[in-house]
Amino acid sequence: MSLYPLARRACFARRQEEDYLKNDNLYSYHHIKGCWEHHLEWCPKYRYNSLRKDSIRQDCEASLKQVSKEHDWGIVELAVLSDHLHVILRTHKPENPSRILFFLKGRSAYELFKKHPNMRLRYPKGHFWSRGSFARNIGVDIETERQYVRNQSDLHQISLAKWAS
């Protein structure tokens, strides 16, 4: 047996590693190369301020991070506000945003009801999240989307301050 195929395989692996380092935000999946980032937004049912307590907010963040870790998704930005939340999520393969939302909303509601049983008083039928959502694939202007999510709480506080004065 010749060592040539092994040397060729090692060279190919090294070349793939170099390509990956050049395009650090591009992933390859079934002959498709790309960067799949989604900006997702959804809110609790009836737009109640259900996420205003720090304990509920932290549990929501933890459950979202756990789901993304289980499905090999990366959360780039996460902003949990009192009446809605924003997530910028990166996937390693093309995924349907509605499928991503299905897992994120379902698991987070399940975990929140399990850790905070008093939430059943407000949501007796067990539907924490509203049916609607917002999803957009992020193209070239990724940094603008990240800044938008980071400054989300500041925007709401500024508008509240203007309204109060």
- Taking only the tens place, the pLDDT of each residue in 11-35 is 444 444 444 434 456 666 677 777 7
CATH code of the domain occupying 35-164: 3.30.70.1290
Q: Where are the domains of the chain?
A: 1-34, 35-164
pLDDT of residue 34: 72
The answer to whether the pTM exceeds 0.75 is: no
User: CA 39, CA 101: separation in Å to the nearest integer?
Assistant: 11
Count CB-CB contacts under 10 A for residue 84.
19
pLDDT of residue 8: 46
DSSP strand pairing (85-91 vs 73-80): antiparallel
| Among candidate residues 76, 79, 75, 77, the one with its CA nearest the CA of residue 51 | 79
pLDDT of residue 110: 95
Sign of CA dihedral 69, 145, 104, 58: positive
Helix, strand, coil percent values for the chain (each to nearest 5): 50, 20, 30
Sign of CA dihedral 29, 78, 123, 155: negative
User: CA 92, CA 73: separation in Å to the nearest integer?
Assistant: 7
What is the end-to-end Cα distance of the chain in Å, rounded? 82
Residue-level pLDDT, tens digit, the chain, 165 residues: 454 454 444 444 444 444 443 445 666 667 777 778 899 999 999 888 999 999 999 999 999 999 999 998 999 889 999 889 999 998 888 889 999 999 999 999 999 999 999 999 999 888 999 998 988 888 767 777 778 778 776 655 555 455 455
Q: Which residues pair with 57 in a beta bridge?
A: none
Burial class (CB in 10 A: 0-12, 13-18, 19+), 75: middle
The single residue listed with the structure tokens 């039928």 is 125
Instruction: Say which amino acid occupies 141.
Output: D
